[in-house]
Amino acid sequence: MFLPLRDQFLRRDILDLLDNESDFVPVQEIADRLEYPSVSAVRSMCDDLRRKIRDLYSSEEMEFIISVRGGVKLIRHGTNLQLLLEKVTDGSVAVQAALQLFFQREFSVLDYCESHYISKSTLLRKMKQANDWISKFGPTMTFANTIKLHGNEANIRVVHYFFLKLGYETLDSFSGIDNPEYYVELTKKIFEYLKLPYIETQAEHVAFWVFVNQHAVENQFPVKSSDPMLKTKEFYHFIDKPDFLTQWQTIDWELFLLFFYAMGYMPINESVTLKDANPFKC
């Protein structure tokens, strides 16, 4: 596994978890809720986050408190996380180049090197490291004069989402998106359609996912019903696609809902329901 990239995802997952808690969270509970890291990895990352936050923010802006008995607590005094996210991903060739690849699905090695003042050998080395991690989730890269992204569209969208969340707190903090306000407004309309309370931290998650799907639709990167990620969708009933998502197909909408249903990021009321209480019975 590409260790630096894995650490960056763990860092962001811990921040997201703590940012939605008002009290101390034990390290063991963090490991249990995230499922993939060990307790020692969580403890080490929390120590790292405390050091970085102390270096970047005053105690009046943000605090990262580690209590031997109580656990860990993040306190933000009206300050966002963008400075921290920029610090930990600054200069990350793998993350920035991978993001461009997800946007375009392919790009010229020569053009990228010239525009980003990086050698071909460095770019290829970093992207091959990123590919080691990305390929564990399905998508893969091929390398020649052009770097191309291959794989099932549903998987590509999900990994694209996580890469965006890795480096940016909100859509408007990412300069690669021309009109973030459009996607924020679209997100609000989706919340209203689903009759969900508009909670800012949840809406930030959803806005990234709205952007990923809208971008893919506009660039004609179609989802297929045969994508493995969608193989269980027949067991669920989905609320109808809203009329204002004019460019989306029904399958885009079902993927959009199924992802948040599976991840448990937010309550989605009756937007996704099981057709059968036991869909796997004989």
Correct CATH for 3-87 of 3.40.50.1110, 1.10.287.110, 1.10.10.10, 3.90.1150.10: 1.10.10.10
How far lies 79's CA from each of 11, 24, 43, 102, 212, in Å? 18, 19, 24, 29, 26
The per-residue b/e assignment along 201-231, b for 16 or more CB within 10 angstroms, e otherwise, is ebbbbbbbbbbbbbbbbeeebebeeebebbe
Amino acid present at 231: K
Among 222, 216, 211, 256, CA closest to 238? 256
Average pLDDT of each block of 10 consecutive residues along the chain (282 residues)? 56 87 93 88 92 91 91 90 69 78 95 86 89 89 96 93 81 79 93 87 86 96 88 86 96 92 68 66 48
Residue 96's pLDDT is 80
Spell out the alpha helix ranges (H) of the chain.
3-19, 27-34, 39-56, 82-89, 93-104, 109-116, 120-134, 153-167, 180-193, 200-218, 250-263
| 50, 56, 58, 64 alpha-carbon torsion, rounded to 10° | -20
- 91-151 CATH fold: Arc Repressor Mutant, subunit A (1.10.10)
Joined together, the tokens standing for residue 160 give 């694209």
Residue 119: predicted pLDDT: 87
Shortest CA distance to 154 belongs to which of 239, 71, 256, 75?
A: 256
d(CA 105, CA 251): 20
Find tokens 């009109």 and name the residue.
Answer: 179
Q: Tokens standing for 52? A: 């970085």
